[in-house]
A and B are shown apart, each in its own frame.
Chain A
Amino acid sequence: MNSSGWIQLALYVGALALITKPMGLYLMQVLDPKGKTWLDPLIRPLERLSYWIMGVRAEQEQNWRQYTWAMLLFSLVSCVFTYAILRLQNFLPLNPQGFAGLTPHLAFNTAVSFTTNTNWQSYGGESTMSYLSQMVALAIHNFASAATGIAIAAALVRGLSRHSTQLLGNFWVDLVRVTYYLLLPICLVFAVVLVSQGMIQNFKPYTTAKLIESYTITVQKTDDKGQPVTTNVAFTVSAPKLDDKGQPLMTNGVAVMVDVPQLDAKGQPVMTNVPVMVNQTVDEQSIVQGPMASQVAIKMLGTNGGGYTNANAAHPFENPTPLSNFLQMLSIFAIGSGLTWYLGRMTKNQAHGWSIWGAMLTLFLAGTLFCWWAESGGNPIHQQLGVAVADGNMEGKEVRFGIFNSALFATVTTDASCGAVNSMHDSFTALGGLVPLFNIQLGEIIFGGVGAGLYGMLVFVVLAVFIAGLMVGRTPEYLGKKIHSFDVKMAMLTLLILCLTILGFSAWAAVSDWGLAGLNNNGPHGLSEILYAYSSCVGNNGSAFAGLTANTPWYNTTLGIAMLFGRFLMIVPVMALAGSLAQKKLVPASAGTFPVSGGTFIVLLIGTILLVGALNFLPVLALGPIVEHFLMLQGKLF
């Protein structure tokens, strides 16, 4: 944990604090249908035209049911749109590498994944997706799912700030305005800055480069038609060598073994097909191209996280320099952080907004420092072999980012529901890998996914004031609203869905052949791989312990369902809560009202979050990363 890391951390936190208010102020304008922005002259006509084509009356607000139905309908339609393109990409243009259409289960998983803002990827982008699929089928959700999340958060905040009404705003208006005024303009600038750092943006086929030093590999021979060639040989088994007398031949007390053909019941040798292997010289490198920057900008800003390439933000094109890395990390938190300011302004309680920001920052710093400490400590097993101790754990990390920026990125991407990675979490030390996993299981409420982070956090706030109310024995109040049993039930429902879906699916996979077949690691780390996969999907994160081979019908389908549960079964209770809050009358604050700002509130809020997270997930974490840590210290290998 060197000084350069501390300086970078200070810079990151400082930059985040600086952009929070401007972002919040701008959100005020964007989320108000009558709000004025400096982009109005440019975008207003496009906005009006869109409403006209859609047949939407912008001034007509919706109650929580209508708002939710509109959101669900949009998600369904856009999901089907993506599914269709992915299945048919081989018939569509902009496919210079000639990739085939996706299998039904992979297309289902991917379409759901991008619709739910998860961006779990059972595929490697550079070897699966055409430019059209990347740019249209996937990127449309990078915008739409982000705008949807922000819209839901805005509806909940309106529920808090309004009283004695049914109306929460208009989903279509929120969706369109967030996309046009917030996401598009920032991404346009951001993408060009990313290109300046070395990110690609073109429509060329992959470039072939001549290697400086060629090398030889052994591959299976193929015939003229490209079919693999095999040859029929006798199947052999190992048997003791016999001498002339039929006695086993011994050397130093051990039987000498030889390979003999295996015979079937009729005494005929059993034949088997084996591949014919040939040596092949590799003297070329095929360099990936495509419209990457436009997609990466929104993947980060919208906390989507779906990589253009398999290695995601670890790929030198997708994250070329430490500066691009810094900007990407900042953009992940930008909107989530601004939304806390928006909350404070809308509820006329700015101290409340900053207190929530403070609770988020505290949890963020705790995670970052713990992860950084674990990774810079390195792996004692490998240090025993001769790896320099001061270098920390570099397996699965890039030199230009080093230990600190890898640990910081891992924490940021899982505090938010982004899921992009600049290092391979699967190869983290046991405790280093625990941090991203636990962050996801807390519900990604630390700044969080755009919108999703705020409404997830507000669920915990409701729970915290409820607990505070129980402690002093009076009906809990939150921002002048009495919190009744319905509100607490809805809040609890979202937490139970999170916990039950993660643990339920993980348990199922852990005892099934299909679940174990996908593992890349044995021992407790295998359980961590499964647990991480379902946590990531239910949490709509999308990062992975990527050794898991998830592109199978079972995994694709169950993970797809987990993502749907994690997104929509969360949003519906949240919207019901918003509707319930909006209807309530205001009660004036009294001496007995629990203040929702300041140190006591922050401590109570963090306590509630950690208590719920620990109660739900500590038992399974003890069987995964925690026991692995102790086995690692003992030098046990699997």
Chain B
Amino acid sequence: MKQLFTECRAALMVTLIFAVVCCGLYPLAVFGISQVLFRDQANGSLIVGKDGTIHGSRLIGQQFTLDKYFITRPSDAGANGMAYDPTSSSGSNLGPTSQKLNDAIKQNIANYRAQNNLDTNAPVPADAVTASASGLDPHISLRNAELQAPRVAKARGLGEDKVRELIRANTDHANLGFLGEPGVNVLPLNLALDALMAK
């Protein structure tokens, strides 16, 4: 009985000690260090305009549909038809033999071909017509951006070379040259396009 009591005390006390050390001191230490060393990243890599408007985060995608913007991937983050809702990150979770997924991809392919003036049997980049895992993917593939470039240039009356230059400027390359895949970060790219027009 005495044995049980001492063991219970140890169990209770170690829980409280861990709560203080691992769940109090440790996160606060990380908070302190990162707010000093990496302030921008620790607070969400926000894109703030000159007037103080928060346009979004460099890491979080937004939905675009208009011709003058580069269009992000289909998104399943959000209820009631919302997309790219960061409070509800999610993929479609539809499997390979899902009728629903099949119909969605079919529709996305038709839209993509029509919007970008492609042949009716032209292969379409996979990322352009499939939902990402988080529903917040900020990137599109290089091929996807390349296919959208003529449309965006036309809608804005810009030269395609100018648009391609901006694509290159907003491409995140593979880390260290070979880790991961390169991708075009759509939100800063579209902001750069808007900024160019505003001049």
- Whether B63 contacts A213 by the Cβ 8 Å rule is yes
**B42 interfacial contact with A, CB 8 Å:** yes
- Whether B97 contacts A387 by the Cβ 8 Å rule is no
In-complex Cβ contact of B69 among A8, A73, A126, A213 (8 A):
A213
- Give 1 or 0 for each of B1-42: 1 = CB within 8 Å of chain A CB: 000001111111111011101111011011101110110011
- Whether B93 contacts A394 by the Cβ 8 Å rule is no
**A237 interfacial contact with B, CB 8 Å:** no
- Whether A53 contacts B17 by the Cβ 8 Å rule is yes
- In Å, the complex CA distance between A282 and B183 comes to 27
- Whether B95 contacts A393 by the Cβ 8 Å rule is no
Which chain B positions have C-beta within 8 A of A429? 96
- Give 1 or 0 for each of B76-95: 1 = CB within 8 Å of chain A CB: 01001111111111111111
Which chain B positions have C-beta within 8 A of A326? 175, 179
Given contacts A217-B81, A321-B180, contact A385 B126 (CB under 8 A): no
- In Å, the complex CA distance between A187 and B30 comes to 9
- Whether B93 contacts A638 by the Cβ 8 Å rule is no
- Tally of chain B residues near chain A (CB < 8 A): 110
- In Å, the complex CA distance between A157 and B73 comes to 50
Closest to B8 in A: A73
**B166 interfacial contact with A, CB 8 Å:** no
Closest to B110 in A: A386
Closest to A424 in B: B91
Among A8, A395, A636, chain B packs the most CB atoms within 10 A around the CB of: A395
Instruction: Give the interface size bracket for A toward B.
Output: 35 or more
Which chain B positions have C-beta within 8 A of A386? 109, 113, 121-124
**A317 interfacial contact with B, CB 8 Å:** yes
Which of A21-29, A332-340, A375-383 contacts its partner? Answer: A375-383
**A575 interfacial contact with B, CB 8 Å:** no
In chain A, positions 199-227 with a C-beta closer than 8 Å to chain B are 199-204, 206-213, 215, 217-219
Min CB distance, B117 to chain A, in Å? 15
- Whether B91 contacts A394 by the Cβ 8 Å rule is no
Min CB distance, A70 to chain B, in Å? 6
Which chain B positions have C-beta within 8 A of A54? 9-10, 13-14, 17
Given contacts A209-B46, A385-B105, contact A191 B30 (CB under 8 A): yes
Closest to A636 in B: B97
In-complex Cβ contact of B125 among A192, A323, A391, A631 (8 A):
A391
**A468 interfacial contact with B, CB 8 Å:** no
- Whether B45 contacts A198 by the Cβ 8 Å rule is yes
**A486 interfacial contact with B, CB 8 Å:** no
In-complex Cβ contact of A322 among B23, B84, B105, B174 (8 A):
B174
Which chain B positions have C-beta within 8 A of A116? none
Which chain B positions have C-beta within 8 A of A428? 96
**A288 interfacial contact with B, CB 8 Å:** yes
- Whether B59 contacts A320 by the Cβ 8 Å rule is yes
Min CB distance, A253 to chain B, in Å? 29
**A124 interfacial contact with B, CB 8 Å:** yes
Closest to B136 in A: A316
A: residues with CB less than 8 A from B are 4, 7-8, 11, 46, 50, 53-56, 69-70, 73-74, 76-78, 81, 124, 126-127, 135-136, 139-140, 143-144, 172, 175-176, 179-180, 184, 187-188, 191-192, 195-204, 206-213, 215, 217-219, 282, 285-289, 291, 293-295, 297-298, 309-311, 314-317, 320-323, 325-326, 378-379, 381-382, 385-389, 391-402, 405-406, 421-424, 426-430, 433, 520-525, 528, 545-547, 628, 631-632, 636-638
Q: Please list 21 pairs of residues, one from A and one from B, whose beta carbons are closer than 8 Å in the complex, sorted by A's number.
A: A74-B14, A78-B15, A126-B89, A144-B15, A195-B34, A206-B86, A209-B54, A282-B82, A294-B31, A315-B89, A321-B180, A323-B179, A382-B126, A385-B102, A387-B126, A393-B126, A395-B130, A398-B134, A522-B98, A525-B95, A628-B95
B: residues with CB less than 8 A from A are 6-15, 17-19, 21-24, 26-27, 29-31, 33-35, 37-38, 41-46, 53-66, 69, 73, 77, 80-99, 101-102, 105-106, 109, 113, 121-127, 129-141, 143, 172, 174-176, 178-181, 183, 187, 190-191, 194
Beyond the given A314-B132, A522-B99, please list 5 additional residue pairs across the A-B interface where CB-CB is below 8 A: A289-B44, A311-B134, A396-B131, A399-B73, A427-B101
